[in-house]
Structure 1
Amino acid sequence: MNVLQLTEIGAGRRDLVGGKAAGLAELIRLGERVPDGFCVTTEAYASGEVPRAEVLAAYERLGGGPVAVRSSATAEDLPDASFAGQQDTCLGITGGEALIGAVEACWASLHTERATVYREAHGVPHEGVRMAVIVQRMVDAEVAGVLFTADPLTGTRGVCVVDAAPGLGTAVVDGAAAVDHYVLDGRGEGAGGCLTPARLKELRATGERLRVALAAQEPAHGHEHGPVQSPGQGHGQDRRDGPEQDIEWAYDRDGTLWLLQARPITTLFPAPPPTDKPGPRVYVEFGHVQGMLRPATPMGMSTLKSMLAGMLAAFGLTVEIVDIGGRLYGDLTDALRDPSTRRRLVRLMAVDFGPRAQKVVEHLLEDPRFAPREAPRQRGAAALRTGLRASVGILGALARPERARERVYGELRRLREEPVTDPATTAELLDLVERDAEPGSPTGALVWPVVSGLAVAAALPPLLGGVASEDEIRTVLGGMPYNVTIEMDLALWEVARRAEPYRTMLLGTPPAELARAQLAGELPDFGLDGFLRKYGVRSAAEIDVGVERWAEDPAPVFAALANCLRVTDPRQAPDRRFGRAAERAEAMAAELAGRARRERFPRGRLAGFFLRRTRELSGLREAGKFAGLYALRDRRRRLLLIGAELHARGLLAAAGDVMFLHLDEVRASVETGADPRAVVTARRAVYERELRRRTVPVALLSDGTDVETLLPAPAPDDRTLTGMGAASGRVTGRARVVLDPADATVEPGDILVAPTTDPGWTPLFLTAGGLVTETGAVMAHGPTVAREYGIPAVICVPAATARIRDGQRITVDGATGTVTLDV
């Protein structure tokens, strides 16, 4: 069928009429006022020729006169890609020949460069995309515009945002002229501009009505099974988390409101889940501290929440961990409102979460909604016991650092070499996985040496205040020994040196192909087998049990090896760079110790002691996380064995799909044969959509507000990007923008520009000349490793991967925390 009236389009016919027409048909079914029209279907597009007779007949039935001709591709108005303005719209078309030409123009716009690039950016395959075209009677608009049921800039739910302009409203959607902007919170709509208070009230009511009605049509699918809820703010009602709506509208000369389009707002970050706790709540993102901004798989999220809660409990802290958009967020509201902890949060954010989180907390401390509400809490017996254990553990490590290191490395050897057996049956495997669902706290052999190293490093700035600059203190933290991640990277460098005879093969073969050969035992042994036995538990985003390890897919290791083989200048060899950084650090530590004794005696003696212990203990900070990877390795292997059994029974499309389920769902499939494939498909779609998200809010309010959008905007500067210096030094080089380390090429001297970095990224540091990231903290994994290689690093540079072009020359200054662009 080539032509359909809009009123004839049934539900679920996106493949025939495209996204825009399907949305208009849904509005008509809901009883909304939509201009009359018809659709030239995708079947006509597939034929390659406009069905003139049918189109002209439909135009005549419409009454002729001016019409709007608009694209309606099958990949359009999607939940995560609006395609706004990517394909053509022709307004005021009059006459049959002009109409035929407009339909052909809409068809052709499917393959313009802008539409093609947009599809590629959103992971939409070109093949199979088809174009339908909508023809509607033109509205003689007095005023028109766009209505959002949530604030698209701040993410705030519970408000409506309206942009309006006199006439057809093209100025609004094209951005061609100034428009009137309204934010409607239901407390009385403001006057002024081209809309009266009565019309603003009507628009708000329309938006709320459509949001609720359209949410009911399509169940939301999130990482948790069942509908995902988000809390309504200010009015005490729950709001279904999506789809919040982007609605085009027009008032005609008679004052009648017409709806021209409704589609999901595609840019919103998911809102926090509902809670019974008094609001508003504030949630701070925890994943970037571990160098992970990508979403966790559903199985990985459940594991991470229990692991993180256990780690915090080891230090006497209770924080609710929630899943928002597949990322780990902690509810810090109670700590903000507690007089005994609120001010300490600023220091905690600065050290452990970075300057972005610090600025957010400083802002919220001045927000009356987070004013102190409770009297300071008394420390209970459990907290006192925790404090006593911490004191004993830390003092022991400070007194005998060499013994603390021996205990740490001994524990790592035990975890790596301890034989592990798996039960024989799937039911027993599942019992074991469930029993280990909440891993215990790290052992004392690991906890207190690691904490001691962090503590002595954190003590340096106050002890050396007025004596040493931040850049000098960062120099002391460079070239740090006893870091398992640095040891891993240098071990890979040794593998590269042994692989020199195979240089041509390793540089000329794609990493994925080399990985397949490695797993099949077809490559010569140049040391990689031993490397993978020791470090194969690692990967990018390695704290997610749902992510493949290097032992399963060593392609990223081969990509890093190729980068190492490109190092031809002996002075740039990673082991020499590390050695130089260590020499500078030792020299600076000695200089600062002497300076402190001269200027701050007797505190200077204490500063000297902490400088020595920093060099002896701070490198252990990576050991705790590395040790936890062995438990994740075993858990992952057992889950995949269960997944393989479910796949063999026809309940999963692949064994790895088990990572998109929760343990109770896995048990239902194992014991009752429940088919989880529809759930897996829905969650995988959400996961893959979130993988494409380039930015993640560092903090959210419970109404979905991105707190950083409330902060004063920095002064614009086209050439200088400002972040936070995390590793001293200054370097100029070619930017290499990398979003995924799996197959990245970083030539010697390139400056790595990335959203974030975790230990799985650090092999790229072997050749990088500098580092720029969008998130992080000074003591996070990436900056720590950068310091230890002597690589200048600037972190927390907003939108760095978007503002810096791949290949552009930039200057990274770790002392000033700036990145200068060569324009």
Structure 2
Amino acid sequence: MADYTLPLPHVGPREIALVGGKGAGLGALIGAGFPVPDGFVVTTAAYRDFLEATGLADRPAAELHERIPQAPIPERVAAAVLAAYAGIGGPVAVRSSGTAEDLADASFAGQHDTYLGVDGELAVLDAVRDCWASLWTPRAVAYRAHQGWDESGLALAVVVQEMVDAEWAGVLFTVDPVSGRRDHVVIEAVRGLGEDLVSGTVSGEHVVLDKATACRVGGSASVPDTDALVRLGRDVEEAFGCPQDLEWTRAGGRLLLVQARPLTALPPEQPAEPAAQDRTRTRRDYGMAADHMPFPPFPMDVSLFLRPAIRAIIDAARAAGLATPTLGEAIVEIGDGVVQVVPPQQIRFTHRALTGAPRAVPALIRLLSTSTTGWRARSDETLVALCRRVDAADLGAPSDAELLEQVDALMGTLGSLMPSRFGAMPRGLLAELAVGRLIAAVVGRERADRLHAGLMSAVPCVTTEANATIDRIAAAVRADPELLRIYREQPAADVAARLQESAPGRALLADVETYLREFGFREMSIFTVGLPPLRETPEVAHGLIKGLAQGPPADSDGAARLARGRVELHRARGLRARLLTPVIRRLVEVQRRTAGFREDSHYQLVMTLAVARRVLLELGRRFVERDVLDAAEDIAYLERSELAAPERSEATTLPPAAVRDVVATRKAARRAALPGYTIIPARLQTRPDDEGRVRGTPAARGTATGPVRIVRDESEFANLQDGEVLVCPYSNPTWTPLFALAAAVVVDTGGAASHAAIVAREHGIPAVMGTVNATRVLSDGQQVVVDGGAGTVELAGTLR
């Protein structure tokens, strides 16, 4: 019987899979010390047992909606519910609590049913059953379809609470949900019960208050206790780390909370005084961070490298005397296990800078004096050697503790090299800023971009080698009619099986396997141990080959473009050319050396993650054998601290029975965060007047007109056709072979120094990075004009 009901004080915030979003939210409120009416949760175990006992488990949605209210509740379930109800007595509120509701980006608000003033045992059982049926109403099914939710394994819990005699009730938003103002609190209230207000049948009182002072900014003035409500809202927001949508009630002069969930679908924050804003100010350049993590990092990623990296940055800045956010303010949890990084909005010095800044100067000088060749040597001796050794080892032999030690060694070595890696790059970035202007002074602006791109062609690095290799494979396919037919007719996932049927096909497969062995550590979408790298997804390589083979031969002779560029620079005449050409040559060499270092060092970083993933998957496989996890990949949803310490014999520091629930909850939260997520909140990457327009960081000059082709992930590589404008949510070196086909590149994330920008400049095609909204505003087939110098994308025919 204990499996079927849980008292609200015993509910943990991570038990959504058992108690649903509403139940988990109430349990979290109680655990944080906030006032909540007494009650209990009828768990999802009761719902599932009911379905099994009545034979409804595998019935379609429409049938479930109709038959659940008529089906008998099993005695064991009914007895548990009534026993818990006896502890309350009197009228109760019975509220649905779905496992897919009250998440960070999908509230499911109003999709499931609530019953107030329910009195008596039979009435309570009927209300519980009606709540279960509301999981399958047409509106709930349609909402889930719109959100892209998989309904397999879906379940509903039910919250039963003491019915309070409300004098006033309503909702409180700790951020203005319309304007996006983070410094405002919005309260809507009615006399008596608040259900009519929540359901929308009455409008009630509306008041907007200053979050800091509780002074009224707008709206009516008759709602009582607004200062206490504002304080309560601030406290809940601070406790849970994100804006909140609260339902409250006032009874006997006391405020109680009856629901709390993250406030979803917030607009970008509007400036406090729009007229005072500088409308020409460019967006904050956080696109590079978003380019590396356009999707939520897994909890394992956060614990292995994101949190330690941010902590190190904060500690260094604090030691230098800068005002810094706390780690909790910098890494904000927007869902269970889903985080965003919130950079400081301004850099301020404190009194500690008088002593801290001078002490930091020698270390900064040492950091900036790092040479690319010196860093490569250290990395080859330590990081790369360790990766190769671990990757070649038989992972079945080490103990769990030894596997964890390997992961810690990989990440520790990576962390020790990261600061000096960044210290080796500023000279190259400064050279890039200067050399473009100097070339323009010598040959003129109209020729400068093309010449600069030529001088930056064929940079020796792993990305250039990988792209040249895949181009050669695609050329071999293009030259063989039978191989080309296989790639044209077969989905990328099925190509390998067809190639096995012929000798030329098997030879090509061997070339692809060599490519994956040499370059397969490359990440697919994000900097992560939670998703497979290229070597685990050969269908992605076949998708690249499929698209390239059906296009024209790639203009891949970078060495020839480099030679032409050097000749053109040498032939420049005039006093400026004589004075500036030697400087340009030196700066170009610095820029080329830094660009190659950036690509090669990045590849070594992702190699570390690919090898760490392999070790973690072996540990995950063992957890599956011990019935702790359902799949080896689920280990990415745990944090490093939740895996057993070396001296422990247990698999995890969590109770084994709780691991699956923790994983399920975090999976649901990550799934809810996927639409529109980047590691940096979108409101920090764009201006309010960007909505509906596509603007970004100018990344590769020139203009191009062509039809839009949105490629959302690696599975759609083969969709891009020659001459189309590639529009994508993120990019990394795996994507760059597609640039041989694209007329231009437009990316939601990234900046002028991103991989995509560098390769676009080498190919001589326009690129606009960090648009934030291009994949949302544009659609396939639209004719657009991309201006890589201005950072704009306009519909053809609408240019002004």
Question: Out of 583, 593, 607, which is 1:606 matched to?
Answer: 583
Structure 2 residue 190 is matched with structure 1 residue 185: no
Instruction: Give, in angstroms, the shift of residue 726 of structure 1.
Output: 0.9
* Residue 330 to residue 485, structure 1, CA distance change in 2 (3 Å): farther
Deviation at 1:10, TM superposition (A): 11
The residue that corresponds to 2:358 in the other structure is: 377
Contact 1:593 1:608 in 2 (8 A): no
Query: How many residues of Structure 1 are paired with residues of Structure 2 in the alignment?
Result: 702
Shift of 1:777: 1.6
Correspondence for 1:759: 733
Q: What whole-Å deviation, never above 9, does each CA across 1:579-605 have from its counterpart, x for those lacking one?
A: 4x8777766676677779644863454
TM-score by length of 1: 0.65
Query: Does the 8 A contact of 1:165 with 1:180 survive in 2?
Result: yes
2:702 equivalent to 1:725: no
Secondary structure of the corresponding residue to residue 146 of structure 1: strand
Matched-pair identity in %: 26
Aligned-partner residue type, residue 699 of structure 2: A
Contact 1:646 1:655 in 2 (8 A): yes
* Cα distance change, pair 70–653 in 1 and its aligned pair in 2 (3 A): closer
The residue type equivalent to 1:640 in the other structure is L
Aligned equivalents of 1:419, 1:136: Cα separation in 2: 58
Q: For 2:786, which of 789, 804, 812 is the aligned residue? A: 812
Is it true that 1:502 corresponds to 2:483 in the alignment?
A: yes
Partner of 1:164: 188
For 1:116, the equivalent position in structure 2 comes to 142
Q: Give the match's secondary structure for 1:548.
A: coil
Deviations 1:465-506 (A, max 9, x none): 866659944762366212421331231122223335233443
**Does the CA-based 8 Å contact 2:107-2:261 persist in structure 1?**
yes
Query: Counterpart of 1:768 in structure 2: which amino acid?
Result: A
Give the conservation status (yes or no) of the 8 Å contact 1:69–1:90. yes
Which amino acid in 1 is paired with 2:292?
A: G
Instruction: Return the alpha-carbon distance in structure 2 between the equivalents of residues 18 and 420 of structure 1.
Output: 41
- Which of these residues, 710, 714, 737, is aligned with residue 689 of structure 2? 714
- 2:758 equivalent to 1:784: yes
Q: Is the 8 A contact 2:453 2:764 kept in 1?
A: no
Could you say which residue in structure 1 is the equivalent of 2:713? 740
Tell me what 2:453 maps to: 477
The 2-side partners of 1:445 and 1:259 are apart by 50
TM-score (norm 2): 0.67
2:393 aligns with one of 422, 431, 444: 422
Letter of the 2:507 partner, please give it.
D
Q: How far apart in 2 are the matches of 1:601 and 1:86?
A: 73
- Per the alignment, residue 431 of structure 2 pairs with 456
CA offset digits 1:180-233 (Å, max 9, x no partner): 552443434326521348431132245467x3xxxxxxxxxxxxxxxxxxxx9x
Partner of 2:216: helix, strand, or coil? coil
**Whole-angstrom CA distance in 1 between matches of 2:544 and 2:586:** 38
Check 1:750–1:166 CA distance in 2 against 1; reply closer, same or farther (3 A cut).
farther
What is the Cα deviation at residue 801 of structure 1?
A: 2.2
Q: Does 1:565 align with 2:590?
A: no
Q: Once structures 1 and 2 are overlaid, which stretch shifts more, 530-539 or 450-459?
A: 450-459
- Separation in structure 1 between the aligned mates of residue 360 and residue 7 of structure 2, nearest angstrom: 67
Q: Is the 8 A contact 1:295 1:687 kept in 2?
A: no
- Paired letter, 2:515: F
Q: Say whether 1:532 aligns with 2:532.
A: no
Aligned counterpart, 1:320:
311
Cα deviation code 1:762-821 (max 9, x no counterpart): 344343332211221211112212222333211111222222234443332212210113
Check 1:413–1:84 CA distance in 2 against 1; reply closer, same or farther (3 A cut). closer
Contact 1:451 1:621 in 2 (8 A): no
**Where does structure 2 lack aligned partners over 5 or more consecutive residues?**
52-63, 74-92, 117-125, 268-283, 325-340
Deviation at residue 302 of structure 1 after TM alignment: 4.5
Matched, 1:288 2:289: yes
Q: How far off its partner does 1:265 sit?
A: 3.1
Structure-2 change in CA distance of 1:108 and 1:247 (3 Å): closer
What's the C-alpha RMSD, in Å, of the aligned pairs? Answer: 6.3
Q: Match of 1:545, SS? A: coil
Distance 1:111 1:647 in 2: 36
Give 1:656 deviation, angstroms.
Answer: 3.6
Q: Displacement, 1:20?
A: 6.0
8 A contact 2:20–2:98 mirrored in 1: yes
Distance (whole Å) between structure 2 residues aligned to residue 172 and residue 686 of structure 1: 28
Measured after TM superposition, the shift of residue 18 of structure 1 is 7.4
Give yes or no for the alignment of 1:48 onto 2:67.
yes
Aligned to 1:76: 101
Runs of at least 5 residues in structure 1 that lack an aligned partner in the other structure:
55-67, 92-99, 212-231, 233-238, 270-282, 310-318, 323-328, 340-356, 398-403, 701-705
Q: Which residue number corresponds to residue 550 of structure 1?
A: 534
Structure 1 residue 672: deviation in Å?
A: 0.9
Q: Alignment partner of 1:610: what SS?
A: helix
Structural mapping, 1:353-372, within 5 Å: 364=346
Q: Which residue, out of 451, 455, 467, partners 1:489?
A: 467
Distance 1:752 1:321, change over 3 A: farther
Return closer, same or farther for 1:193/1:634 CA change in 2, 3 Å cut-off: closer
Q: Secondary structure at the match of 1:798?
A: coil
Farther-moved stretch of structure 1 (168-177 vs 651-660): 168-177
Q: Which residue pairs with 2:669 in the alignment?
A: 689
Tell me the equivalent position of 1:353. Answer: none
Aligned counterparts of 1:79 and 1:446: Cα–Cα separation in 2: 35
CA distance in 1, matches of 2:195, 2:780: 37
Change (3 A) 1:127 1:768: farther
CA–CA separation in structure 1 for the residues paired with 2:679 and 2:24: 36
* 1:425 shift after superposition: 3.1
Give the structure 2 partner of residue 240 of structure 1: 239
Q: CA offsets, 1:671-707, max 9 Å, x none?
A: 513445534652564256335434456768xxxxx87
8 A Cα contact 2:288 2:754, kept in partner: no
Q: What is the alpha-carbon distance in structure 2 between the residues aligned to residue 208 and residue 379 of structure 1?
A: 37
Q: 2:602 maps to which residue?
A: 625
1:263 to 258, 261, 264: 261
How far apart, CA to CA, are the structure 2 residues paired with 1:410 and 1:386?
19
Counterpart residue type for residue 195 of structure 1: A
Whether contact under 8 Å (1:408, 1:446) holds in the other structure is no
Q: 1:138 to 1:507 in 2, by over 3 A?
A: farther
Quick one: distance in 2 between partners of 1:694 and 1:453? 36
What is the CA deviation profile of residues 300-342 of structure 1, one whole-angstrom value per residue up to 9, with x for unaligned ones? Answer: 4444359x96xxxxxxxxx7358xxxxxx99867779499xxx
- 1:370-411 per-position Cα deviation (integer Å, ceiling 9, x unaligned): 899546425665555555554xx68x99xxxxxx9x999999
> Could you tell me whether the CA contact under 8 Å between 2:525 and 2:713 is conserved in 1?
no
> Could you say which residue in structure 1 is the equivalent of 2:120?
none
Letter in 1 for 2:261: R
SS of structure 2 residue aligned to 1:627: helix
Instruction: After TM superposition, list the pairs within 5 Å mapping 1:320-359 onto structure 2.
Output: 320-321=311-312, 337=322
Write the letter of the residue equivalent to 1:148.
F
User: 3-state SS of the aligned residue for 2:246?
Assistant: strand
| C-alpha displacement of 1:171 | 8.7
- Aligned partner of residue 515 in structure 2, secondary structure: helix
- Per the TM alignment, residue 622 of structure 1 is displaced from its structure 2 partner at its CA by 0.9
1:73–1:130 Cα contact (<8 Å) kept: yes
Check conservation: 1:539, 1:548, Cα contact below 8 A: yes
The aligned residue for residue 146 of structure 1 is 171
Alpha-carbon contact 1:597-1:605 (below 8 Å) kept: no
CA deviations over 1:51-109 (Å, ceiling 9, x no partner): 6999xxxxxxxxxxxxx999876643346521135578999xxxxxxxx9xx9999789
Indicate conservation of the 8 Å contact 2:440/2:447, yes or no: no
Query: Does structure 2 retain, via aligned residues, the 8 Å contact 1:34–1:259?
Result: no
Name 2:334's counterpart in structure 1: none
Q: Cα 1:811–1:672, aligned 2, differ >3 Å: closer, same or farther?
A: same
SS at match of 1:293: coil
Supply the AA of the counterpart residue of 1:48.
R
**Alpha-carbon distance in 1 for matches of 2:502, 2:315:** 44
